[in-house]
């Protein structure tokens, strides 16, 4: 199975474990912390492919605000830019 471009990981490869039988978690000296869910490979600092835009809008004159909801965390999170 190939899910990351050549050279992403160190020559020795990452340490890996499976989280709740749904997600592969990796730690590597070159790639840092990464995750793969069978569809999206995300490196540390990357953005999940699991976002859904519900009202994209147009003609913004200033930065938009994004709300992140759902997930399995114990507290709601908000992000804005």
Q: What is the pLDDT of residues 26-71, one digit of tens each?
A: 999 999 999 898 888 888 776 666 666 777 778 888 876 776 666 5
Task: Let me know: does 37 contact 22? Beta carbons within 8 Å.
Answer: yes
Residue 80 has pLDDT above 50, yes or no: no
What DSSP character marks residue 33? E
Q: Give the whole-angstrom CA distance, residue 61 versus residue 45.
A: 27
Token couple for 75? 């507290």
| 14-29 pLDDT, tens digit each | 999 998 888 899 999 9
């Amino acid at each position: 199975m190939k899910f990351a471009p050549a050279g992403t990981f160190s020559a020795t490869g990452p340490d890996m474990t499976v989280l709740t039988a749904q997600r592969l978690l990796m730690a590597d000296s070159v790639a840092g912390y990464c995750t793969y869910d069978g569809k999206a490979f995300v490196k540390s600092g990357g953005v999940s492919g699991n976002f859904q835009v519900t009202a994209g809008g147009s003609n913004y004159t200033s930065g938009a605000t994004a709300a992140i909801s759902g997930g399995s965390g114990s507290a709601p999170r908000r992000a804005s830019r």
